[in-house]
Amino acid sequence: MAAKTNPIPSVWARQQREAEQPALSRAAIVREAVAMLDAEGAEALSMRKLGGRLNAGATSLYRHVATKDELMELALDEVFGEIDVPPADGPEWRAAVAEAARSFRATVLRHPWLPALLGQAGLAYLGPNLISYSERLAALFTAAGFPEPSRAIDTLLSYTVGMSSAEAAWLTTVARSGETEAAFIARLMPAAQQVAADHEHLVAAYAAAAVAPDPVELRNAKFDYGLEVFLDGLALRLPG
């Protein structure tokens, strides 16, 4: 007797199409879930609260989305549709990869919950938008001549996810303060400088930060510096 197998825990593995209902469709549920995640964060997402926002009971939602985990997969795939990747037939691969990285970062800053869900939603990579994103990056790196494009993609994502998730966490902290970023930094700086007082290298860094220009420009420059270092290293992997 064959052993019973459990279903694969992913909305993308069920291969079923829903009959769209104008009043409450999967697309409408996902759009509202993304709005809720943007406003309140991943911790606040629940089928009950989402049903309340849609004026529908949780039972009604389950007719379209089987579990909360599936809802998270769908929300994640929805925002991946916002990330731009230039076509592979462009003139210069470095500029195209940089554009893709900056688009990913911008998407994370709009949806700061994205990195956390990316680590939790196990089979999210099967979603149509995420598949399309991966395919476009693979085409870009293949056209550039990289023999193992998947490794280049993984390394790019490691950099962009790491940098943008830290930046998103910082901006979430700033938002909770109710102040502008510049005002929050100005209020924080005396305490930071006091903590760093016995660390000579950090003293110089905090002194420079205290007179830094617009914090948005500073964050952009920080991301671009690391991106250029990444691209320089990646270029060394090209054959010839």
Q: What is the CATH number of the domain that holds 98?
A: 1.10.357.10
Number of domains the chain contains: 2
Domain that holds residue 42: 21-66
State the SS3 of the chain. Answer: CCCCCCCCCCHHHCCCCCCCCCCCCHHHHHHHHHHHHHHHCHHHCCHHHHHHHCCCCHHHHHCCCCCHHHHHHHHHHHHHCCCCCCCCCCCCHHHHHHHHHHHHHHHHHHCCCHHHHHHHCCCHHHCHHHHHHHHHHHHHHHHHCCCCHHHHHHHHHHHHHHHHHHHHHHHHHHHHHCCCHHHHHHHHHHHHHHHCCCCHHHHHHHHHHHCCCCHHHHHHHHHHHHHHHHHHHHHCCCCC
Quick: pLDDT tens for 109-152: 999 999 888 876 556 678 899 999 999 999 999 999 999 999 99
What pLDDT, on the 0 to 100 scale, is given for residue 21? 45
Answer with the residue of higher pLDDT: 11 or 171. 171
Quick: pLDDT tens for 56-87: 877 788 788 888 888 888 999 999 999 999 99
Residues 122 and 210 in one domain: yes
